[in-house]
Structure 1
Amino acid sequence: MTDVVMRFWLKRRPKLIHDYALAGYILSPNSTIMSHAIDKNKRLITKLILNPTLVGSERNNERAKLIDTFMEEYGDFTNKRGMFARDNIWIMAKDEHTKAYRWHYKYSLTTTKVLGKLACLVLSKILGIGTAERNWKQVKAIKSGQRINTGMDKTKKQVLIYAQYQRTRAQARMTKLAAAGKLWEDDDFASMKMDPFCKEIKESLEAEQMEKAVRILRLWQERWELETIGPNSNLIMEARLTTKYKGLKFFDINENNRVMTVHKMIFQKKHGNNLYHVFATMDGFNDLLTDDDAANDLYWQPWEVNEDLFDCMRVYYKEQVDSNVKCYELGGDCQSDDEQ
Structure 2
Amino acid sequence: MNAPFPETHGSAQKLPLKVLIAAPRGFCAGVDRAIEIVERALDRYGAPVYVRHEIVHNRYVVDALRAKGAIFVEELDEVPEGVPVVFSAHGVPKSVPAEAERRQMIYVDATCPLVSKVHRQAERQIEAGRHILFIGHKGHPEVIGTFGQVAEGEMTLVETVDDVDRLEFPEGQELSFLTQTTLSVDDTADIIAALKIRYPQIVAPKAEDICYATSNRQAAVKDVAPEADLVLVIGAPNSSNSLRLVEVAERCGTPARLIERATEIDESWLEGVATIGISAGASAPELLVREVVDRLSQWRAVEERTIISAEEKMVFKLPRQLME
Normalising by structure 2, we get a TM-score of 0.20
Normalising by structure 1, we get a TM-score of 0.20
- Structure with bigger gyration radius: 1
Larger strand proportion, structure 1 or 2? 2
- Give the number of the structure with larger relative contact order, counting CA–CA contacts within 8 Å between residues 6 or more apart: 2
